[in-house]
Amino acid sequence: MKITGRITSTRNQKILDILQLEKRREREQQGLFLVEGYKEARMAFQAGYIVRSIFYCPGILPSRKIEELVQTAGYTDDIYEVTPEVYARIAYRENSEGICLVAETRFVSLPQLLLPDNPLLVVLESVEKPGNIGAILRTSDAAGVHAVIVCDPRTDIYNPNVVRASRGCLFTVPVVVCTSEEALAYLREKAIHTFAAALPAGKYYHQADFTKPSAVIMGTESEGLSNFWLRKADELIKIPMTGQADSLNVSISAAIIIYEAMRQRGFR
């Protein structure tokens, strides 16, 4: 393994460039994002993401782990050692194992989705908190959801908190970003039944039939789904609420409904 250089100053230009990628505008303009953590780095490589550079702290992550990672991935580009002080400056979270990648963003379009005959999808409308998007991606990976469609997003899917909360599942679940109109047209074209989670619903989620091609539509915690989905969805469903709270965190609600769908499908 060849080390490109060693960085000891937080004012190094490459470190300043990394910090710029914490901003959505810079990520979108440069087409780059950050991957933090050893497991997440390995998953990004396995998913075929193009990695521009690796920054790692040998005081946190043993060099043999980096050697193993780059050898397995066949990576031969820039690798920088950084001091603990420098790594602390670029790390977005605590205990991220001493490695950060700069990788190229990539996007999947609706026509590019490869779905089985009886797919289960999750549609997120304007979910604003990146941590919730990441958590839903993690649940979707665990449950075997075939794709997640992010409609009219208020944050980008390469926000560091999405990557962090997904625990690398951003790289394992196909994610499409589009408008609600585009998503609905696609779902109707594919004859996928749409279930919108909404408080006004008359049917509980466990009463719905998820054994057919299905899409679970989730909205924001503060506003719920827009009238577009409330009017256009095939069915409205809700989760029973018997206490004082009138709603759950959207990632928890999504997990409850997703696993009910998988239960009905025999977890296949």
Q: Which domains does the chain have, with CATH numbers?
A: 5-104 (3.30.1330.30), 110-264 (3.40.1280.10)
pLDDT attached to residue 159: 97
Residue range 37-93, pLDDT digits in tens: 999 999 999 999 999 999 999 999 999 999 999 999 999 999 999 999 999 999 987
- pLDDT band, very low/low/confident/very high, at 147 (cuts 50, 70, 90): very high
For 168, counting Cβ atoms within 10 Å of its Cβ (0-12 exposed, 13-18 middle, 19+ buried), the class is buried
pLDDT attached to residue 7: 98
Residue 94 has pLDDT above 80, yes or no: no
Give, in order, the Cα–Cα distances in Å from 30 to each of 90, 156, 198. Answer: 18, 14, 37
Per DSSP, 49 falls in state P
pLDDT attached to residue 247: 83
Report the distance separating Cα 211 and Cα 260, nearest Å: 10
Which residues make Cβ contacts (< 8 Å) with residue 64, sequence separation at least 6? none
Mean of pLDDT values over 126-151: 98
- CA nearest 36: which of 166, 133, 172? 166
Give, in order, the Cα–Cα distances in Å from 79 to each of 53, 91, 193, 236. Answer: 6, 16, 47, 51
Percent of the chain with pLDDT over 90: 91
Q: What is the pTM of this model?
A: 0.94
Ranking 18-22, 64-68, 112-116, 218-222 by mean pLDDT, the lowest is 218-222
Compare 169 and 241 and report the one with higher pLDDT. Answer: 169
pLDDT attached to residue 187: 99
pLDDT attached to residue 40: 96
Residue 152 has pLDDT above 80, yes or no: yes
Residue 95 has pLDDT above 80, yes or no: no
Residue 143 has pLDDT above 90, yes or no: yes
Q: Which residues pair with 53 in a beta bridge?
A: 78, 102
Q: Are 217 and 257 in contact (CB under 8 A)?
A: no
pLDDT attached to residue 156: 97
pLDDT attached to residue 200: 82
Residue 201 has pLDDT above 90, yes or no: no
Ramachandran angles phi, psi of 214, nearest 5°: -140, 150
Residue range 213-245, pLDDT digits in tens: 999 999 998 889 999 999 999 999 999 998 988
